[in-house]
Chains A and B, each alone.
Chain A
Amino acid sequence: MTLNELSITQASVGLQKKEFSSVELTEVYLDRIKKTDDKIKSFITVTEDLALSQAKEADKKIKAGENNNTLLGIPCSIKDIINTKGILTTAASNILKNYIPAYDATLISKLKKEGMVMLGKVNCDAFAHGASTENSDFFTTHNPWDLQRVPGGSSGGSASSVSADQCIYSIGTDTGGSIRQPAAFCGLVGLKPTYGRVSRFGLISMTSSTDCPSIMAKNVTDVAIVLEKIAGIDKKDSTISGNKIDSYQELLKNENIKGLKIGIPSEYFIDELDSDIKKAVENAIEKIKSLGAEIIEISLPHTKYAVPTYYIITPCEVSSNLARFDGIKYGHSETQSSKLLDVYIKSRGKGFGSEAKRRIMLGTYALSSGYYDAYYLKAQKVRALIIKDFKDAFENVDLIISPTTPNVAFKIGEHSGNPLEMYMEDIFLSAISLAGLPAVSIPCGFVKPNDGEKEMPIGMQIIGKAFDEKTVLRLANVYEKNTKWHKYSVSSI
């Protein structure tokens, strides 16, 4: 095994045993980025100097034996929607293409304390609006498994960078599926924690009521390690929870799932679901049953309303959150205008890409006088029913399993002309976001698409009760230990 195929645990053990240094490890990844990123295009910014200086610091600490944090000296990538002090943070948007934050997101401060090595900032759909990275104002990222296809989105650069061995793990965000869908498309483990588990402070806000910092890695143990480090109370986020943070890594030692009750919602196995993916997820459920879990059919009756509800609530919150980009304090500014109002409308007109404008206008419309009751208020009520669906289901089951996506990664350009088609990417994902629940996507097979030669990875979603990441991760870990899907990696790029 070469150095850039290691898991967090393997790399950490190697560092502590001094088999290699963090600088050596970091150089291997930087070299890999140099050799592959012209094809994959994961990175908006590669922070080579910073990474090497962080690696040197880590080596000093390891040498002095003063620190044995699992994440010490481990190279990662960060989605470019997360603020990093002194480092360009663009949200993959033209309006922030020169924005250098004056502060770190809370999760970045936490990871710095752990001694992380940040290799760079990775691409996403601008302001996380999308499911393919095609809405990035800069460039589209390619799926390492088949370069003609999208890596998914919005955290597409997080997925491509991990699956192409350009880093060991990545931090992205998931607002309506943005970590789970790309994890499925790229054969990775993607965890969206419970809303309120990880501080949102320092994310460039999209939908404040569903935004979740999220984790992408090659196996379940790795996401568990990172979750434990970034979770927890933060006085800068008034929606953060004081709930106990479990020792997830420790809990994974429990490999018994006997008697665990797993709900299978019929509404997630519909005609729109590719028949090969359906078969693969059914096989996975059989496997889980054979390992001792009890499978129970359940119903989540308002499932089909999740996407339309999400596409009212999200644009409404987006229209409010993106109001701050006005060309006055930071970001792109049309300074040659002579009137203040012209600075606003021209800076926003030029600075926002088409999906950001579409969502801002949809939200502005839905919140405007005369339409508020019909759209926003209605969506808030349907959201309450979607939450109740899950609450009722969790009276009888411990976890819920569904496919992550209805299809494998689509070809670049296939949906880009049609916003509605792109929104349908979220059909198995947005209800969970609206309910604020934790969910992980884990690899559960490969499917050869009708329009391609290469087999593509697919994912299974495990959904848990609020703040019960430990049970979600336990099942994911047991499934992973008893299957081989996560062991396949991209053969050549």
Chain B
Amino acid sequence: MTDNKKISTKEVEHIADLARIELTSEETEKYANELSDVLGYIDQLAEVNTKEVEPVSQVTGIMNALRDDVAEDCDEDSKDKIIDNFPQGKDGYIKVKQVM
């Protein structure tokens, strides 16, 4: 780490890169401070003994709720509304910029 914070500005830049978010230099500085504070607060979880505890990701207990894999028709109106939301499109297709 380049300073005493839990998260350095360099790490914030790396996280922002992973999260695909462009930050200004002020934002990078601000988030280094704020994320460090929040993580410092969260560190209290370390004191909880979780040795024999199974993690949970949901509370319903429902497993593999599946439906038949059948295509449903989309009405024209809904279709048009979806297409209208494209920031850039042509003939009902989404247009994207070059990848490389």
Residues of chain A at the chain B interface (Cβ within 8 Å):
85-86, 99-103, 195-196, 209, 235, 238-239, 241, 302, 304-305, 308-309, 311-312, 319, 323, 326-333, 335, 337-346, 348-350, 352, 354, 357-358, 360-362, 364-365, 368, 374-375, 377-385, 387, 419-420, 423, 435-436, 466
Q: Given that A360-B21, A361-B31 are known contacts, is A102 also in contact with B58, CB under 8 Å in the complex?
A: no
Q: Given that A102-B81, A309-B45, A358-B35 are known contacts, is A349 also in contact with B22, CB under 8 Å in the complex?
A: yes
Which residues of B, 39-97, contact A by the 8 Å Cβ criterion?
39, 41-42, 44-46, 48, 50, 53-60, 62, 65-67, 78-79, 81-82, 84-88, 94, 96-97
Across-interface contacts of B34 in A (CB, < 8 A): 358, 419
Cβ of B1 under 8 Å from chain A: no
Q: Which one, B48, B53, B84, B94, contacts A328 given CB within 8 A?
A: B94
Of the A-B pairs whose beta carbons lie under 8 Å apart in the complex, a sample of 12, sorted by A's number, is A102-B79, A309-B45, A326-B20, A328-B96, A348-B20, A348-B22, A357-B23, A360-B21, A361-B31, A362-B39, A420-B41, A436-B60
7 tightest Cβ-Cβ pairs between the two chains A and B: A349-B22, A333-B87, A380-B55, A436-B59, A102-B81, A330-B85, A381-B50
Q: Which one, A340, A345, A346, A352, contacts B96 given CB within 8 A?
A: A340
Which residues of B, 8-32, contact A by the 8 Å Cβ criterion?
11-12, 15-16, 18-23, 27, 30-31
Across-interface contacts of A102 in B (CB, < 8 A): 78-79, 81-82, 85
A344 to B21, CA, bound (A): 7
Asked if B87 and A327 make an inter-chain contact with CB atoms under 8 angstroms apart, the answer reads yes
In whole Å, how far is B53's beta carbon from the nearest beta carbon of chain A? Answer: 4
Asked if B50 and A340 make an inter-chain contact with CB atoms under 8 angstroms apart, the answer reads no
Across-interface contacts of B2 in A (CB, < 8 A): none
Q: Which one, B44, B56, B84, contacts A100 given CB within 8 A?
A: B84
Asked if A361 and B97 make an inter-chain contact with CB atoms under 8 angstroms apart, the answer reads no
Q: Given that A209-B57, A308-B45, A361-B31 are known contacts, is A382 also in contact with B87, CB under 8 Å in the complex?
A: no
Asked if B60 and A338 make an inter-chain contact with CB atoms under 8 angstroms apart, the answer reads no
Asked if B21 and A209 make an inter-chain contact with CB atoms under 8 angstroms apart, the answer reads no
Asked if A348 and B21 make an inter-chain contact with CB atoms under 8 angstroms apart, the answer reads yes
Q: Given that A364-B18, A384-B56 are known contacts, is A335 also in contact with B48, CB under 8 Å in the complex?
A: no
Asked if B85 and A239 make an inter-chain contact with CB atoms under 8 angstroms apart, the answer reads no
Asked if A311 and B48 make an inter-chain contact with CB atoms under 8 angstroms apart, the answer reads no
Asked if A384 and B85 make an inter-chain contact with CB atoms under 8 angstroms apart, the answer reads no
Across-interface contacts of B55 in A (CB, < 8 A): 377, 380-381, 383-384
Contacts across chains A and B counted by CB atoms under 8 Å = 173
Q: Which one, A195, A337, A379, contacts B97 given CB within 8 A?
A: A337
Across-interface contacts of A239 in B (CB, < 8 A): 58, 60, 62, 65
Cβ of B4 under 8 Å from chain A: no
A331 to B88, CA, bound (A): 11
Asked if A379 and B45 make an inter-chain contact with CB atoms under 8 angstroms apart, the answer reads yes
A329 to B55, CA, bound (A): 35
Q: Given that A100-B85, A329-B94 are known contacts, is A361 also in contact with B21, CB under 8 Å in the complex?
A: yes
A328 to B96, CA, bound (A): 7
In whole Å, how far is B1's beta carbon from the nearest beta carbon of chain A? Answer: 14
Asked if A375 and B42 make an inter-chain contact with CB atoms under 8 angstroms apart, the answer reads yes
Asked if A319 and B84 make an inter-chain contact with CB atoms under 8 angstroms apart, the answer reads no
In whole Å, how far is B46's beta carbon from the nearest beta carbon of chain A? Answer: 7
Asked if A99 and B56 make an inter-chain contact with CB atoms under 8 angstroms apart, the answer reads no
Identify the closest chain B residue to A99 (Cβ). B85
Asked if A330 and B86 make an inter-chain contact with CB atoms under 8 angstroms apart, the answer reads yes
Q: Which one, B20, B78, B86, contacts A329 given CB within 8 A?
A: B86
Q: Which one, A103, A339, A364, A381, contacts B78 given CB within 8 A?
A: A103
Identify the closest chain A residue to B81 (Cβ). A102
Asked if B97 and A338 make an inter-chain contact with CB atoms under 8 angstroms apart, the answer reads yes
13 additional A-B pairs beyond A341-B99, A354-B30, A362-B39, beta carbons within 8 Å, are A100-B84, A102-B82, A195-B59, A195-B60, A196-B60, A239-B58, A302-B48, A308-B45, A329-B85, A339-B98, A349-B21, A365-B7, A384-B54
Q: Which one, A329, A330, A340, A362, contacts B35 given CB within 8 A?
A: A362
Across-interface contacts of B94 in A (CB, < 8 A): 328-329
Across-interface contacts of A382 in B (CB, < 8 A): 45, 48, 50, 53
In whole Å, how far is B16's beta carbon from the nearest beta carbon of chain A? Answer: 6
Q: Which one, B15, B37, B46, contacts A368 given CB within 8 A?
A: B15
Across-interface contacts of B22 in A (CB, < 8 A): 345-346, 348-350
Across-interface contacts of B18 in A (CB, < 8 A): 364, 368
A368 to B97, CA, bound (A): 28
Asked if A352 and B21 make an inter-chain contact with CB atoms under 8 angstroms apart, the answer reads yes
Identify the closest chain B residue to A359 (Cβ). B38
Identify the closest chain A residue to B12 (Cβ). A361
Across-interface contacts of A423 in B (CB, < 8 A): 38, 41
Across-interface contacts of A235 in B (CB, < 8 A): 67
Asked if A419 and B53 make an inter-chain contact with CB atoms under 8 angstroms apart, the answer reads no
A101 to B81, CA, bound (A): 7
Asked if B81 and A378 make an inter-chain contact with CB atoms under 8 angstroms apart, the answer reads no
